[in-house]
Amino acid sequence: MKTSSCLDHPLPPSLSLPPSLSQFYTVLATHTNSKKMNSGASEVAHDFRPLFRVYRDGRVERYKLFDRIQPVPAGLDPSTGVESKDVVVSPKTGVSARIFVPKIDGLDRKLPLLVHYHGGGFCAGSPFDTIVNDILSTMVTRAHVVAISVGYRLAPEYPLPIAYEDSFEALKWIAGHSDGSGPEPWLNRYADLGQVFIQGESAGANISQYVAVQAGAAGLTGVRIKGVLIVHPFFGGTEMDEMYKFMCPTSSRLDDDPRLNPAVDPDLPKMACEKVLVCVAEKDSLRNTGVKYYETLCGSEWEGKVELEEAKDEGHCFHAFSKNERAEQLIKKMVDFITKD
């Protein structure tokens, strides 16, 4: 892997744009064995393979991406000592989350808190599946932090920007525990809200950057965000993405949307964190927009420190599916970002 500073990593001479979200996940899902569904094609209004299709009566049907992604119940993992529990963030919206706590022998101080937003193209994924549980169990154990993964509501049933709004509301809910009397005992007891990190992969990285900017723009109190981990992020380009446009009818899905192009966000300099780690993968079709985001931060008026980490010969979110040497290097880099100043 290579770690770059603002000065030594220029953009490639020809900056290729990412594919649409649906095209991107078609490539990502090459190992899926999903079967065709039985409804007549004439009833389908929109088909965004391999993620979902929408029938004329409004029903949404999701395709199965990977057989290995399964729901995981909360509880004690005897192999790691990590304990997890599920909590309701908002009874009104039904947004929930999973909290992970490492094995603790005689707690004499609270632990940093890692706030996590999962990937999945804004329309798939969950804090309660094998992918998130594997990633966060590793991060919790190695970085010795408490983690909470937010189950924001998914498009298209809940059109964007609802996922963004849910995610920021969850951070505000977390901030409500700053005096130790919030509604969730584990956060009151174990989490140091003066040491908060935010992490997201893919669409979750996009949400993470949005949440950090909103926290600064709103002057959110109760949490001190020390760092943000932007892992293989999805950002927009100059070409229309029909699936994103369907999920977010209010967006142009072009580079004038600040959620997809942070460079046009007037609040970017207010991003409420001290440092950012941007992780990209050489063979990821989203790699160049991740580098562009890194360059945007370098050239902005935001006063924090930004770092770029590139994994050679790897694709999108490879560390979630592979346990090779480069995955180990990426995890170590992420852990070091949290544990070292």
Secondary structure class of 25 (helix, strand, coil): helix
What per-residue confidence (pLDDT) applies to 275? 98
Of 184, 73, 162, 75, the C-alpha closest to 126 is: 73
267 is catalytic: no
| Low-confidence residues in the chain, pLDDT < 50 | 2-19, 23-24, 26-39, 41
- DSSP assignment of 170-193: HHHHHHTTTTS-SS-HHHHHHEEE
Of 177, 232, 316, 319, the catalytic one is 316
* pTM for the full predicted model: 0.88
What was the pLDDT predicted at 32? 34
Catalytic member of 129, 166, 265, 284:
284
| pLDDT, position 65 | 76
- Any catalytic annotation for residue 265? no
Burial-class residue 324 by CB neighbours within 10 Å (0-12, 13-18, 19+). Answer: exposed
Which is the catalytic residue, given 96, 202, 208, 251? 202
pLDDT tens-place string over residues 89-134: 999 999 999 999 999 887 788 999 999 999 999 999 999 999 999 9
pLDDT digits (tens, 9 = 90+) for 32-72: 333 344 445 468 999 998 899 999 999 999 998 777 789 99
Q: Catalytic site residue 284?
A: yes
